[in-house]
Structure 1
Amino acid sequence: MLQRLAFILLAGMLGLAALLVLGIGFDRLSKVRQLDRLPITQLNALNDGIYATSGRVASDAGSLTAPYSQDSVVFVRYLLEEEYTNSKGERKVRTLDSGSSATDFSLVDGTGRAVVSLGLQISQVDWQIRQTHRQQNGSRIYTEHSLRAGDLVEILAHFDRSRQRFELPDRVAGLNAIVSHSSLKIEGGKSLLIAGLWISCATGLLAVGLAALLVGLGIHRYWVFVLVMTLGLMAVLWTIGLVQLKKDWQIAADLYGRRSAAVAAAPANPAALADLYAYYLMIERSASQWPDSLLFRMAAPYSFRVPTLPQDAQNRVRNRLAEVQSSRFAEQNWVLFVVAACWLLTGLLIHFALRAIRFKRLVEFIPTSKTTGLAYGISELFGMIEVDDRYPPLLSSVNQQKCVAYQYRIEEKRGSGKKARWVTLDEGGASTVFWLKDALGRVAVNPAGAKLIFPEKKVSHEGKIRRTESWLPPFRSIYCLGMAGIADAEASRLSLQNSADFGMLITTQTEQEVVRGQGALGFLLTGLALATSLLAGTVWLAGAGSLTPLDLLQVSLLVPLTLALITSILHYNGLVFLKNRVDKTRADIATLLQRRHDLWPQLLVTVQTFLAHEQDLQTALRAVRDGQTGASGQPQNIAGQLAHERQVMARLEAYPTLKGNELVQTFVAQMTRNEDELALIRTGYNNAVELYNNQIEQLPDLILAKSFGFSAAPMWQG
């Protein structure tokens, strides 16, 4: 109960974190969209408001001296580092000093000049300035990023027309001031990628949170998981996405309204009017997709009025904007690497999720048997471990505990401090056959090669030696899932054992605990797989510069598509497993029949020696030898063939001379063992066929069965 409450609490925390991170991501996305809508404005077209502009730096008010290069600059960010060797002998770098300083400067283009006022809080400005100095002197490294007179820059800042200057620390609509040596579109591309990472991380948290919620509620049905995950993720993404989109267009309307009012209030300025028209066109371009187009059309008559401009002036503005690209991340190789890594990780997570869910479905498929009703093939039992003189217990190697299986590891601590590590000196384990007893009887279990969940564990320390041992004691209730095969000693009995194509599980958990545990693991891994697939899609779009709200809504479609793929693979693999189980049992039947058939020629030779005059008996034996058809293992042929063989064997009983022959006695003993084995395998085969035939008649397996040619298998009658 406490574990389920912990999962529910975890789901709540992940959900709250997802909403918080999603808000941060959409806020960053909105800022990038506002930046993309701003045209590069000439200095003679400036009015009150937020502007993106470009020009060359001029140092009218004097300059600073860079601390390391001694160059004259208007801005410098410096860093002093030192290389050193740590206690592990590794070369590291530490920071000794860092800081930045700046002074007011002017921005000049072909149309005018404007002062850039820094104020007192230069740390609030996003300085994207290239490195201009790096020097290593001994173990010390001196680095500077500086802005100098004559440098070409692009800036995003608030312009005060009354003072004819940019006020860098001022923020409007949440936009920080930017001064960049590179294009603002490149800086926008970085922010766009970061926004995509935030949003995809939020959806990942939400996916894992929903999976944890289902685990906490005790829900382990995969179809419920698919339904909740699809509806939950898409509902949250679409709802929050549309809310944030509406907020984004409100900000755009506010910024455009402010600039439009400033242009109208200022003296007539054709350059300012042309810039306002460029701003309108950029906003219109950002509304090319739904639902942006719908919100733009609704707000356009009131918030986005087209400025009056002569047709030739409109054409010039359109031609200038035709070459303007949206924000795009410059390092495309990095984007490709992240996307490829995400899809690879998604594939691995889906693989392990499918393993967990397939095992869970297998446990649900296979009914719990009683020891007296055990059938050949994959079976599950629940009972208590018993030992006796035939199958005595072991003594564990380290703690001398009575058990039926144990494993141990002996380690030594070497080194000290951060260099200390545990080195394995010896490890191993052992297991022995034991009885599994339930209310009706008992059956032998061979744990060799099985996956054992040990209920007991002890760790002891002696000086620098650590001994760890786990064991499975007798008289514990356990759940076993394994292969019920022919016992080596008795052909008429089955024992539970490991097999090459199916791993055996032995645990002290109940069947329901195993189902819930595997379901929880599968759900959480699927949630992580959804997170990484959404991350891949979002990073790809952000890197391409096309992370629009519609793109995000389309990315959300990866959720049902991924879940549909996982579900299809899961059900297909389930059908393959059930069909292979039928085929394997049929192959075991064919092997037994072939072994049985190989005995008849030897018997014919014996009869020809002792009863040469009994031509009828020899003819019957030859018919069995030459007419054998059961080696194919087809159930429809087996019943008649076995009946005919039994008739021939009954005729042998009429000849005392043959009954006393050693070869005939061996033959009869082997045939009896063979009959016992066939009787056991027959039940297992029919159980496998019934489970397989029922499954291919149920949805959605029926669709897959028709599509991939899974046909019903015949039962073994008679």
Structure 2
Amino acid sequence: MKSQKALYYLGCFVLGTVFVLAGFWLQNFGFDIIRDMRQMERVPQVSVHHVIPGEVSMQGVAAKGKETLFSRYSNTPCLYHRYLKQREEKDSDGDSRWVTVEEGSESTDFFLVENTGKILVELNRGGVSPDLETDHRSEKGNYRYTEWRIEEGEEVFAFAMAVKKEKGFSLRFDKSGSYSPVLSNADALENRSGLGTNGVLASMASVALLCFGCLSLCFALRIHRVLVFLSIVSTLSSLAMIYSGLSMMKADLKDGYARLDRLEKSALSEVTDLVDVRVDWKTLPSHVVSLNENDRSRIMGIREDFVASVERTEAIRNRFPERLLAPLWGIEPRPSLLADGELMLDEAMIAKTPMKSWIFLLCAAVALLMMCFGSLFGFRRIKTKRYVENIPTSPSAGLTYGPAEIKGIVECDQGRILKGPLSGEKCVFYRYKITERRGSGKKAKTVVILDKKHFVPFQCRDSAGVISIEPEGAEFTADFKVQKRRGRQTHYEWHIAPSTAIYALGSAVVDKEKGDRLIISDGDNDGFPFLVSDETETEVMLRQGRKGLLGISFAQNGTVFLGLVLFAALGSFAATDFLLSALISPMFLGLSMFVLMFNDLVFLRNRVKRAWANIEVSLQKRADLIPRLENIVKGYLSHEKVSLEALTGLRTAVVGKNSYSPTDVDLAMQQETILTNRLFALREDSPELKGDSAMDEFMDRLTRMENEVALMRKGYNDGIERYHATKQRIPEVFLAKFFSFQDAEFLKFSKEIRKVPSLTFDESVSKEVNSVEAPVTQGEPVPDSVSSSSSVYVLKDEQVMGPYTVDQLKIFVENGDFLQDDQACFDGKNWVTVGEVPGFVE
């Protein structure tokens, strides 16, 4: 078992490290895609007549160059074609898949034509893989044929480098520059939108990898605190996005201004070839009036494109926080080249390129589902984990009404015990599961044909006594015990056997059958978790913590995803959007802290309210007994003034009220104690009352109700104490004041638990019943019953506790309830240390 856990933690550590490294790499990859989009964004679309050397964005129609190609399968005339031949193959299960048999491409140079002229596209030089729609797909026999083509007259978009030739210009995709080559059927906006969407999706995947990487590392390092986990995730993902965002911002600005310098040189060179003046971009229009139409149009087109590039680059620099950071990076602004009164051209405006609507809706829906289900599941498990962590372990002698946690070893009645269906071993709980392997090959699957759980009520013995557990509604966790193969079926068994050390978290409620003790159960559908496990408290806490952190991880990812897709829907894809998205994780952290602290306060307040409501219900039951109590008091105690005054006080405190104050409860219990003490004394002194069945039934009911409140009082006061302590902590004290969490008042009366009178009047039977119910024997060791080492008594805190078996004693020592130096008696005569008990040390 230890080796399996070691391998588990090692695997989590390795997986977490890989995920974190992959997350950082994917974050940079996503930002590189966004940079490609921003490069395209900076370059306004130009016409052929205005082309100058440098990066260009151009839309036009494909026209024949020197030759025409014919596609491989359809024999269609074209200027470029990519072909793919696939063969259908089937596996042993009949599933088909397509296997590539042949693929390739063929291209020729062609012209891109628009309304001002044409320009040569040198596609034969390579450097780009055209992104085209499917033009042909056919199947023949087991083969499928697919083609993608650029045909003459087809609309295409090119983002390339313009190169000056002896005669005119050409577009090249193999030249380096501030661009990523594109040749596509889609226009500039659609290409930019696609790049932006891919960048956002890569960033979302990066955040997920970082989050689940941190989750795996937390599992490996046994970190279970949700705020620690969220702090790590928030810090890591925020740093990754901030670092990548700032790096992209800096590179984007530097690249943009470097391109402007190159573009200005090219523009000046082209303009000075046509006009023999010192070029001033603001006054240039006044110097070209005398030129012919063709030259004037080219110069003005070059000026418009250059001015638009400057305005676009300046618009990016003037965004927040670029305008604050650019001076730190040594990037100075360029003055506007627009003449006085000249309006900004449409080409200077950067058009928004939002994510496609269906992609946005799909991503937003997935993000919302992750947020909702992750939060519900995660916070519920985290709440359970916090209960395990914060509720103190109660010894059986100190168990109080309400939420409780106990630890000990399993005991059970031999009359009601289970047997494991595979192991045949005695147990109080088992889970039996049968799976069957169906199909073969890829279609093979494992089907669960049976998964059932059985349990019986049992007891938990600790160093102070025994507590009964009613397991209906419990969530059991048990170690895997047996696995057997029977043909195509596999049988599994998990069970909890007697003498097994267990941990239980549940509600301590009054035993409805006996009425004078508390038992652990699911409570009154109060929503408090009920766990029974053969793991240690730490392992239970870590298990609940892992489940909670997994749910919180999905919720945190969903929150960041939603922020990213909302920014993507706006279409700017600015570095600022990613920087703002980086703040979502800390915001989620703050919200989670608020939710956890607020829920803790609500739970503690509701615990007090629930305990008080149960006390009120118990008091209201007394109203039904008041008439009978009056008859008894008037019949037997009419001469006692104190008893009559107590009866009057009890009637005043209980009858005719729908709600009670702590003062009312204290008064009622004081008056009731006076009366019941006198009634019990009267019953003992009057033989005729002992045999009165009506009197016995009445005293039984009265005693049970007394015990109810007595058992509930300590749980109520403990709940108030914890509630007040939490309210006074920082920052809970501010939440408590803002949301008006009111203080509660302690109950002051003190009441001992009274033994419920037995309705059986046969003395021997009564003694037998009492001996079976006794949870623990305390006192001097009895030689006749402890003559072997299987019955051991322990002296602890000046009390003799036991008897225990040696196996039970080992578990108590392991749990820290006893020490090996404590005194123990195993033969009814001699006292030795626990470590010296025969059989304790093997």
Superposition TM-score, scaled by structure 1 size: 0.89
Structure 1 residue 452 displacement after superposition: 1.2
- What's the Cα RMSD here? 3.3
Matches within 5 A, 1:221-232: 221-232=225-236
1:195 aligns with 2:199: yes
The amino acid across from 1:592 in the alignment is S
Tell me the residue number matched to 1:110.
115
Greater alpha carbon shift after TM alignment, 563-572 vs 550-559: 563-572
Tell me the residue number matched to 2:558.
532
Q: How far apart are the structure 2 equivalents of 1:362 and 1:206?
A: 29
Q: How far apart are the structure 2 equivalents of 1:222 and 1:308?
A: 55
On the 8 A contact 2:384/2:529 being kept in 1, the answer is: no
Q: How far apart are the structure 2 equivalents of 1:215 and 1:412?
A: 32
Tell me the residue number matched to 2:312.
282
Which of 156, 161, 165 is matched with 1:158 structurally? 161
Structure 1 residue 62 displacement after superposition: 1.8
The amino acid across from 2:320 in the alignment is W
On the 8 A contact 1:410/1:425 being kept in 2, the answer is: yes
1:343 aligns with 2:368: yes
The alignment-based identity, stated in percent, is 28
Q: How far apart are the structure 1 equivalents of 2:337 and 2:446?
A: 79
Tell me the residue number matched to 2:40.
35
Tell me the residue number matched to 1:256.
260
On the 8 A contact 1:193/1:543 being kept in 2, the answer is: no
Tell me the residue number matched to 1:675.
706
- 1:25-59 Cα deviation digits (max 9, x unpaired): 11111111111000112223323222112222220
Q: How far apart are the structure 2 equivalents of 1:218 and 1:130?
A: 51
CA gap of 1:85–1:4, structure 2 versus 1, over 3 A, is closer
Tell me the residue number matched to 1:665.
696
Q: How far apart are the structure 1 equivalents of 2:334 and 2:708?
A: 89
Q: Which has the larger radius of gyration?
A: 2
- 1:156-203 Cα deviation digits (max 9, x unpaired): 111220354435441424633212222112111101111111122223
CA gap of 1:659–1:638, structure 2 versus 1, over 3 A, is farther
On the 8 A contact 2:559/2:584 being kept in 1, the answer is: yes
Structure 1 residue 79 displacement after superposition: 4.4
Superposition TM-score, scaled by structure 2 size: 0.77
Which of 64, 73, 80 is matched with 1:75 structurally? 80
Tell me the residue number matched to 1:480.
504
Structure 1 residue 327 displacement after superposition: 3.3
Tell me the residue number matched to 1:449.
473
On the 8 A contact 1:371/1:438 being kept in 2, the answer is: yes
CA gap of 1:582–1:307, structure 2 versus 1, over 3 A, is closer
CA gap of 1:307–1:172, structure 2 versus 1, over 3 A, is farther
Of the two structures, which has the highest relative contact order with CA contacts closer than 8 Å and spacing of 6 or more?
A: 1
Structure 1 residue 251 displacement after superposition: 2.1
On the 8 A contact 2:649/2:668 being kept in 1, the answer is: no
Which of 391, 394, 397 is matched with 2:418 structurally? 394
Structure 1 residue 349 displacement after superposition: 1.1
Which of 647, 651, 667 is matched with 1:640 structurally? 667
Q: How far apart are the structure 2 equivalents of 1:415 and 1:129?
A: 41
- 1:385-423 Cα deviation digits (max 9, x unpaired): 23454x764211222012221111234444444444445
Tell me the residue number matched to 2:606.
580
The amino acid across from 1:698 in the alignment is R
1:551 aligns with 2:577: yes
Greater alpha carbon shift after TM alignment, 66-75 vs 340-349: 66-75
On the 8 A contact 1:586/1:634 being kept in 2, the answer is: no
SS at match of 1:258: helix
The amino acid across from 1:459 in the alignment is Q
On the 8 A contact 2:308/2:348 being kept in 1, the answer is: no
Structure 1 residue 599 displacement after superposition: 2.2
The amino acid across from 2:158 in the alignment is I
1:54 aligns with 2:78: no
1:376 aligns with 2:424: no
1:236 aligns with 2:263: no
On the 8 A contact 2:608/2:719 being kept in 1, the answer is: yes
Tell me the residue number matched to 2:732.
701
- 1:351-395 Cα deviation digits (max 9, x unpaired): 222112211221222111112111111111122223454x76421
On the 8 A contact 2:314/2:334 being kept in 1, the answer is: no
CA gap of 1:632–1:489, structure 2 versus 1, over 3 A, is same
CA gap of 1:482–1:171, structure 2 versus 1, over 3 A, is farther
- 1:303-343 Cα deviation digits (max 9, x unpaired): x756967668x64xx323266514333x2122122112212
On the 8 A contact 1:384/1:475 being kept in 2, the answer is: yes
On the 8 A contact 2:45/2:347 being kept in 1, the answer is: no
Greater alpha carbon shift after TM alignment, 263-272 vs 98-107: 263-272
Structure 1 residue 687 displacement after superposition: 1.1
On the 8 A contact 1:117/1:165 being kept in 2, the answer is: no
1:440 aligns with 2:464: yes
Q: How far apart are the structure 2 equivalents of 1:479 and 1:697?
A: 31
On the 8 A contact 1:75/1:102 being kept in 2, the answer is: yes
On the 8 A contact 1:39/1:52 being kept in 2, the answer is: yes
CA gap of 1:231–1:411, structure 2 versus 1, over 3 A, is closer
Which of 378, 384, 405 is matched with 1:359 structurally? 384
Q: How far apart are the structure 2 equivalents of 1:654 and 1:495?
A: 32
The amino acid across from 1:445 in the alignment is I
Matches within 5 A, 1:580-619: 580-605=606-631
Q: How far apart are the structure 2 equivalents of 1:156 and 1:27?
A: 17
Greater alpha carbon shift after TM alignment, 406-415 vs 84-93: 84-93
Q: How far apart are the structure 2 equivalents of 1:520 and 1:426?
A: 27
CA gap of 1:101–1:526, structure 2 versus 1, over 3 A, is same
The amino acid across from 1:434 in the alignment is F
SS at match of 1:191: helix
CA gap of 1:397–1:716, structure 2 versus 1, over 3 A, is same
CA gap of 1:666–1:622, structure 2 versus 1, over 3 A, is farther
On the 8 A contact 1:207/1:233 being kept in 2, the answer is: yes
SS at match of 1:452: strand
On the 8 A contact 1:189/1:542 being kept in 2, the answer is: no
Structure 1 residue 551 displacement after superposition: 1.2
Structure 1 residue 296 displacement after superposition: 5.0
Tell me the residue number matched to 1:562.
588
SS at match of 2:545: helix
SS at match of 2:654: coil
Greater alpha carbon shift after TM alignment, 654-663 vs 696-705: 654-663
On the 8 A contact 1:456/1:472 being kept in 2, the answer is: no
On the 8 A contact 2:382/2:548 being kept in 1, the answer is: yes
CA gap of 1:255–1:568, structure 2 versus 1, over 3 A, is same
Matches within 5 A, 1:612-627: 624-625=650-651
Q: How far apart are the structure 1 equivalents of 2:183 and 2:600?
A: 59
On the 8 A contact 1:453/1:508 being kept in 2, the answer is: yes
CA gap of 1:717–1:620, structure 2 versus 1, over 3 A, is closer
SS at match of 1:127: coil
Tell me the residue number matched to 2:753.
none
SS at match of 2:124: coil
Q: Mark the runs of 5 or more structure 1 residues left unpaired by the alignment.
A: none
CA gap of 1:68–1:221, structure 2 versus 1, over 3 A, is closer
